[in-house]
């Protein structure tokens, strides 16, 4: 399994998927940007590219990942934490060698990305 989704995150994602179109999948990957060079991309998508994407069922959720991103996100855990200010997803990636202070971007050993302002 490439990534893990905690029960808490899984419940939140499934609840959010109810408002989306039928046959929607969670897309998880990385994109260039943020002060450390890479940031996470997390959203819903109906379209997949069978040549570029891999689809896995994780914790009952269909997850699409770009094959190019898999080495960078391998072993990542997606969690959802609730607090007095609301809640939000947290991403724990063992491949991130540098993370920025705002927590939304990172640098991986094999891919620096394109740093920009946070």
pLDDT at 41 over 70: yes
10: enclosing H helix or E strand:
helix 7-17
What mean pLDDT comes out for the span 45-68? 94
pLDDT at 105 over 70: no
pLDDT tens-place string over residues 58-104: 999 999 999 999 999 999 999 999 887 778 898 888 888 766 655 55
Q: Which residues pair with 112 in a beta bridge?
A: none
Domains and CATH numbers, the chain: 4-108 (2.60.300.12)
Helix (H, G, I), strand (E, B) or coil at 87: strand
Q: What is the pTM of this model?
A: 0.81
Structure-model confidence comparison of residues 41 and 116, the more confident one: 41
Distances in whole angstroms, Cα of residue 9 to Cα of each of 22, 35, 72: 20, 26, 20
């Amino acid at each position: 399994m490439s990534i893990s989704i905690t029960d808490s995150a899984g419940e939140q994602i499934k609840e959010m998927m109810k408002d989306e179109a039928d046959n929607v999948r969670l897309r998880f990957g990385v994109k260039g940007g943020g002060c450390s060079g890479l940031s996470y991309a997390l959203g819903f998508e109906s379209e997949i590219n069978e040549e570029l994407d891999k689809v896995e069922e994780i914790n009952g959720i269909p997850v699409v990942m770009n094959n190019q991103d898999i080495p960078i996100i391998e072993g990542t855990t997606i969690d959802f934490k609730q607090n007095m200010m609301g809640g939000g997803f947290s991403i724990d990636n063992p491949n991130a060698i540098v993370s920025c202070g705002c927590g939304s971007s990172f640098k991986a050993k094999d891919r620096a990305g394109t740093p920009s302002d946070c």
